[in-house]
Amino acid sequence: MILIHVPSLNDRRDDIPLLVDFFLSKVCAEQGMPEKKISLEAMRALQDCDWTGNIRELRNVVERLIILGEAEISKADVEKYVRVN
């Protein structure tokens, strides 16, 4: 048996901006909508979240922000639709 340790998002906060950008592009393309932008403050708020789940949780959050957020996803959108520490 080979054990592979995959660190949680809480342990890889520096990876969150890369993952968010990837999911923004992917989800917008899947939904046939123009790619949304995210403000630096919103990105920092996402990095400050307590990620109890895995990468699917982050993708679901990005999808929610795309659907419910403004043209540019703001810190206020993150605070409104995501549980922030």
- Here the CATH number for the domain that contains residue 73 is 1.10.8.60
Q: Is residue 19 part of a domain?
A: yes
Residues in contact with 38: Cβ distance below 8 Å, sequence separation at least 6, in sequence order: 20, 21, 24, 65, 72, 73
| Domain region containing 56 | 9-81
Residue 36 included in any domain = yes
- Reading the block at residue 15, the tokens are 């990876």
* 63 assigned to some structural domain: yes
What is the model's pTM? 0.88
Number of domains in the chain: 1
Region 9-26: mean pLDDT is: 95
Q: Please state, for a pLDDT cut of 70, what percent of the chain lies above it.
A: 98
CA-to-CA distance for 45 and 47, rounded, in angstroms? 5
User: Has residue 60 been placed in a domain?
Assistant: yes
**Mean predicted lDDT score pLDDT of the chain:** 92
